[in-house]
Amino acid sequence: MSKAALVQHDAFNLDIKTDPFSGLSYGEYQHRCGLRLLLQPKPGFVRKFAAFGIPFGSIYKNYIDEEGQSRAIPAGSAHYLEHCIFSRDDEGGLMGKLSALGCQANAYTSYVQTVYYFSGTAAFGEAFHIYLDALLHPYLEEDRVIAERGIIGAELDMYKDDPDSFAFHSLMNKLYLLHGAKDDIGGTRESIATIDAQTLKQIWARFYSPSQMQIVVVGDFSEDEQKTLLRELDRVLSAQNWAAAVRYRHPEEPAAVEVAELRLELAVENPSFILGIKDPYPFTKAPLDPIALGKRTMSTALYLDSIIGEGSSLYTKLYEEGLINDSFTAQYLCEDSFAFFLLSCETEQPAEAAERILELLRAELNSAQEPGEIFAIQKKASLGHLLRAIDGVDSLGMTLVQAHMAGLELAEYAKIIDQVSIAEAKASLSFLQNDALRVTVLVAAKGETT
């Protein structure tokens, strides 16, 4: 087990931080080009983890090019670019090279970010630089871009076969009028057909600059390993000038929805509904302060768990009435530029269930009686979940990269859990009363032959 201290390097500013709740200490390094590296020691563990976070997801719809012209980004471009980073060559491409080192790699694209990650037990430094090189010098030529299109098309087909995914994307498409959250993360077969090598190269040049990249590494690193990592990273970063961070402004989203109700007939066994209510708050306040956003997310999650989660009397009532079952979800998602509330369930009478659940939920929100005791229990449960999430190398790494991409420190999580109140949550959720911002998608089974 190594108990190496965090090392310094001239090209990086080092800030050592400690989370009093978990007892974890870590180093936050900032390179002069802007790149941030978080190094989390995990003594006694053989696995090492790294994640590269790029603040570029599917909601970005255009950018300003070198000539100052606004250029449209076709839907699905961020996801397409993620696929192409793993492009193949005679050595199996990035995946092949990492596999040869015994490393498991993957990536995901969300609305707001793309995260690349890997973990392995040996040759970590080598794998790290192979991965970084693939991100900073990707092979984005027409042959590979065309080959990847078929694979992405098959992936989109797979999502179409998933009724939950299809209904969710249909909901988002009706909930938003202009914002990028309107489109599927992967785009459509039509939109990806318009993406070529040139498109991807230009997007990569604007959004994959290290100046806005966040890297998280977790593991038991000796001082020599740390020094090598920092030295090599500095060598790569100092080798050329990188574009400055992109300033992006999302379109102004109207306080309206496209349709109030959408009926879908899909190849399902269970009818269902998914109901969304758009929260106008981020449009007026963006960009949100990360702590404020963290508090908003945490307070609403704990409050919703208290009034309609499995431990609530409302959930039990609805469950016993047969209106909901294990498939029921109620959640609020808040990102920097958009936020919405979701209710969904597979149920025999979707329209009636959606109305009644929302009605009862609104009544809870309006009730003077507050679920103080349950809220306290949910806080305690959240602390337990947090400790569990940071117990292993990979899960700790993923928790850290998500926190840092959201602009939060790990140390702030426990503090936020402690500080949030029911009053804050109720205020945040006041938009739930607004029917003008609501879309209900009702899914019914269509006839099928087997």
In the region spanning residues 116 to 155, those forming contacts with another protein, defined by CB under 8 A, are 119-122, 147, 149-151, 153-155
Using the minimum distance from each CB to another protein, give the nearer residue, 160 or 285: 160
The distance of closest approach from Cβ of residue 329 to another protein in the complex, given in angstroms and rounded to an integer, is: 13
374 binds another protein (CB under 8 A): yes
Q: How many residues bind another protein (CB under 8 A)?
A: 73
> Per-residue x/- marks for another protein, 61-100, CB under 8 A?
---------------------------x--xxx-xx--xx
Among the candidate windows 64-72, 73-81, 317-325, 359-367, which touches another protein by CB under 8 A?
A: 317-325
Using the minimum distance from each CB to another protein, give the nearer residue, 267 or 292: 267
164-203 residues in contact with another protein (CB under 8 A) are: 189, 193
Using the minimum distance from each CB to another protein, give the nearer residue, 153 or 251: 153
335-364 residues in contact with another protein (CB under 8 A) are: 346
The distance of closest approach from Cβ of residue 72 to another protein in the complex, given in angstroms and rounded to an integer, is: 21
The distance of closest approach from Cβ of residue 262 to another protein in the complex, given in angstroms and rounded to an integer, is: 19
Among the candidate windows 10-18, 31-39, 42-50, 420-428, which touches another protein by CB under 8 A?
A: 42-50
The distance of closest approach from Cβ of residue 63 to another protein in the complex, given in angstroms and rounded to an integer, is: 26
The distance of closest approach from Cβ of residue 330 to another protein in the complex, given in angstroms and rounded to an integer, is: 14
Using the minimum distance from each CB to another protein, give the nearer residue, 95 or 343: 95
Strands of the 438-445 sheet, one edge to the other:
261-266, 438-445, 272-279, 339-346, 329-334
